[in-house]
Structure 1
Amino acid sequence: MNYTESEERQALRAAVADLGAKYGPEYFIRKARAGEKTDELWREAGRLGYLGVNVPAEYGGGGGGIGDLAAVCEELAAAGCPLLLMVVSPAICATIIARSGTEDQKKHWLPRFADGSVKMAFAITEPDAGSNSHRITTTARRDGDGWVLSGQKTFISGVDESDAVLFVSRSSDQKGNLRPSLFIVPTDTPGFNWSPIEMEIVSPEKQFVCHLDDVRLPYDALVGDEDGGLLQLFAGLNPERIMASAMGAGIGRLALAKATGYAKERQVFKTPIGAHQGLAHPLAAAKIEIELARLMAQKAAALYDAGDDLGAGEAANMAKYATAEAAVHAVDTAIQVHGGNGLTSEYGVGMLAGVVRLMRIAPVSREMILNFVAQHTLGLPKSY
């Protein structure tokens, strides 16, 4: 077992960290508060090949794995630029299309994922289903040589800046049974409408409710096999958890960097406040928690890239849980270290609280992860 990343991965991290430092938290916060997008950073990251490190080389990508893309996501977050759509577009959508898409779909979408010239949102959550994906009511029915989609999704990230949305729906097999199916729906398709959800979180990426009103699609809008929807779906959800872990680790690192820098300089009783164990110990504990969570996330990525979907599923859920908890603790500690300054706009710490708190809920709640571990890892009876 090797606990040291390859020289190539370390070089990738260093290069991405340099790019992130070029923009920094001031750029990200300014864009978010103005209601603007981080298009300049996204385009440059795409041009440099960072958004496509996991796309197969034959389609213009870097030919790496989800571990490489997670490293990019983490370093940008640590630099103060957590790009939520990295979790969605190149991780979930590009992975699913690369694994299950037709050759035409791969040729059409993957090169543009690789250079960042396209963004694709992902829609699974519904108002009445929540974490219970078996209650999804968005349906797809065959109509001639195409499909008709109807339904509603909620809390869908970045629809307003995406070229298409990958929808999870239910369609009937030859026996009439409903099973998950995945469809690519361009955002300008007639009958597809969306409306924003007002959020308390400061972020350039917005959340939306999506409405599908008898949206007509060609047959080739279907991704993969009509009978393989569930396996194809989970091929994208494990990378989602790994990427969420990477973003959480990056934000936790950012919070700790701000807090330790402040603790070294701020003096109250004739010595830097970081010399007092009441502040030093919580910071040290937060550092330990983040590093432990990062190890589990790297394990999950290694298992996924090695093709061990079962092992990756367990590790990815554990990593997402651990990283969310560690990030929440790190940000809360950073706010406390800053005192009143922790809630001012000048220091940029307080605005991180809403982002990391959301990580306990999305993309999968901590309670559902605990259910998963209890049932599948510990072998306890199913509780829901």
Structure 2
Amino acid sequence: MSFIESDERKELRAAVAALAAKYNYRDYVLPRARKSEPLDELWAEAGKLGFLGVNLPEEYGGGGAGMYELALVMEELSAQGAGLLLMVVSPAICGTIITKYGTDEQKAEWLPKLSDGSAKMVFGITEPDAGSNSHKITTTARRDGDDWLLTGRKIFISGVDQAEAVLIVARTEDHKTGKLKPALFIVPTDAPGFEKTPQDMDIIEPDHQFTLFLDDVRLPSTALVGKEDAALMQLFAGLNPERIMGAAMAVGVGRYALDRAVEYAGERTVWKTPIGAHQGIAHPLAQVKIELELARLMMLKAATLYDAGDEMGAAEAANMAKYAAAEASIKALDQAIQTHGGSGLTSEYGLAAMLGAARIARVAPVSREMILNFVAQHSLGLPKSY
């Protein structure tokens, strides 16, 4: 891993930053988020410019790069308050899994559309009675001749109303109890027996969350991605990128908040000098800067290890990056609001409106407590606690 980015990566950062400035938080994202409208124009232009599929294979219309580059895109979009949540699930999780384990037909059907953004595939794993314990998922796939029948329920599934399909994590009847051996299925959102219900969220964001009900959804054998008994490897192929992208989004949000705070502190004068000259303002912002940079380094390390094929190293780094980025991002936003004083809670600046969405980073896609469990067990070698 080099600390000096290549010219190509620098150029990619600059190009994404230019697009994000055009679709910035206060002028574009926040007005749509207040109305719960998706960021369709930004998604379409990002897809046209090749940003959404930068990690997917060139032969299917992607950029042929890696998770480093996709995380870079997410970070720079988020640094303007314009992060695209569905990048986490469509190209990062679903695109990666299909690239690694999909059939030639699945790759030909889905990867070109995921690359240019003309279609979206979201991801369904979380269930109401399982939570962080994926071994308890009960969504079941059973054979019916050459077809599969899926029955179950999912919650907190992002962007289903925007997607053509959901990559559903199920278990076969042979594995309804005991250790999870996930089977992954591409489920069209218009399939008979598939129902989605919006969940009421007290968060200002452009993307909706849904509860899914699957009642004997009939799927052809070609809907199965990879092998039905491939255990966890196929699933983790998508979950490590999910954590890396979550970290990239959090780092970007932290950068946005810090930039707004520095901008305000450099201009706002109450006594004889701008408030940024006072250590009570300057030191907390300097501390935020340090913590964001540390989180960003771990995020880039995780992406580098993932692209190098080091799955275990990437898992540790991705979890650490997600933890560190969430904490640094929330702290940055809180300090930005504090720097603005009462203005930080006004609609004019829009910082308070980011609080709910930024707070998600401590909970999803994996909670801070489960990350600490992972590090205690796998990094420190302590006994498993759950």
Matched residues in 2 for 1:285 and 1:356: separation?
19
- With normalisation by structure 2, the TM-score equals 0.98
**2:185 aligned residue:** 183
Matched residues in 1 for 2:345 and 2:172: separation?
49
More displaced stretch, 370-379 vs 34-43: 34-43
- SS in structure 1 of the partner of residue 123 of structure 2: strand
After superposition, the Cα gap between the structure-2 partners of 1:175 and 1:288, relative to the gap in structure 1 and judged at 3 Å, is closer
Letter in 2 for 1:124: I
Alignment of 1:1-384 (within 5 A): 1-25=1-25, 26-173=27-174, 179-384=181-386
Matched residues in 2 for 1:29 and 1:217: separation?
39
After superposition, the Cα gap between the structure-2 partners of 1:131 and 1:287, relative to the gap in structure 1 and judged at 3 Å, is same
After superposition, the Cα gap between the structure-2 partners of 1:156 and 1:176, relative to the gap in structure 1 and judged at 3 Å, is closer
After superposition, the Cα gap between the structure-2 partners of 1:69 and 1:378, relative to the gap in structure 1 and judged at 3 Å, is same
Give the superposition deviation at 1:10: 1.1
Contact 1:173–1:226, Cα closer than 8 Å, also in 2: no
Letter in 1 for 2:222: D
After superposition, the Cα gap between the structure-2 partners of 1:193 and 1:341, relative to the gap in structure 1 and judged at 3 Å, is same
Write out the 4+ residue segments of structure 1 that deviate beyond 3 Å after TM superposition: 172-178
Deviations, residues 106-132 of structure 1 (Å, cap 9, x unaligned): 000001111110101101000010000
Matched residues in 2 for 1:299 and 1:6: separation?
15
Deviations, residues 244-296 of structure 1 (Å, cap 9, x unaligned): 00000000000001000000111111211101100100000000000000000
- SS in structure 2 of the partner of residue 351 of structure 1: helix
Contact 2:184–2:224, Cα closer than 8 Å, also in 1: yes
Letter in 1 for 2:54: V
Matched residues in 2 for 1:150 and 1:175: separation?
12
Matched residues in 2 for 1:62 and 1:269: separation?
52
Give the superposition deviation at 1:230: 1.4
More displaced stretch, 226-235 vs 302-311: 226-235
- SS in structure 1 of the partner of residue 352 of structure 2: coil
Deviations, residues 24-64 of structure 1 (Å, cap 9, x unaligned): 11200111112221111100000010001001011111000
Letter in 1 for 2:130: A
Deviations, residues 154-191 of structure 1 (Å, cap 9, x unaligned): 00000011110000000145999762110000000000
Contact 1:172–1:179, Cα closer than 8 Å, also in 2: no
Letter in 2 for 1:142: R
Contact 1:145–1:219, Cα closer than 8 Å, also in 2: yes
Matched residues in 1 for 2:156 and 2:343: separation?
32
Matched residues in 1 for 2:110 and 2:88: separation?
17
- With normalisation by structure 1, the TM-score equals 0.98
Give the superposition deviation at 1:15: 0.2
Matched residues in 1 for 2:176 and 2:133: separation?
23
Matched residues in 2 for 1:381 and 1:348: separation?
45
Contact 1:240–1:363, Cα closer than 8 Å, also in 2: yes
> Percent same amino acid at aligned positions?
67
Letter in 2 for 1:127: P
Matched residues in 2 for 1:90 and 1:173: separation?
31
Contact 1:173–1:227, Cα closer than 8 Å, also in 2: no
Deviations, residues 293-343 of structure 1 (Å, cap 9, x unaligned): 000000000000000001000000000000000001100000100111111
Matched residues in 2 for 1:34 and 1:131: separation?
31
Matched residues in 2 for 1:82 and 1:351: separation?
15
- SS in structure 2 of the partner of residue 383 of structure 1: coil
Deviations, residues 334-379 of structure 1 (Å, cap 9, x unaligned): 0100111111110011112111211000000000000000000000
Contact 1:181–1:230, Cα closer than 8 Å, also in 2: no
Matched residues in 2 for 1:271 and 1:158: separation?
47
Contact 2:175–2:181, Cα closer than 8 Å, also in 1: no
After superposition, the Cα gap between the structure-2 partners of 1:351 and 1:174, relative to the gap in structure 1 and judged at 3 Å, is closer
Letter in 2 for 1:161: Q
- Unaligned residue ranges in structure 2 (runs of 5+): none
- SS in structure 2 of the partner of residue 199 of structure 1: coil
Letter in 2 for 1:201: I
- SS in structure 2 of the partner of residue 86 of structure 1: helix
> For the aligned residues, what is the CA RMSD?
1.3
Matched residues in 2 for 1:352 and 1:290: separation?
17
More displaced stretch, 56-65 vs 28-37: 28-37
Letter in 1 for 2:198: P
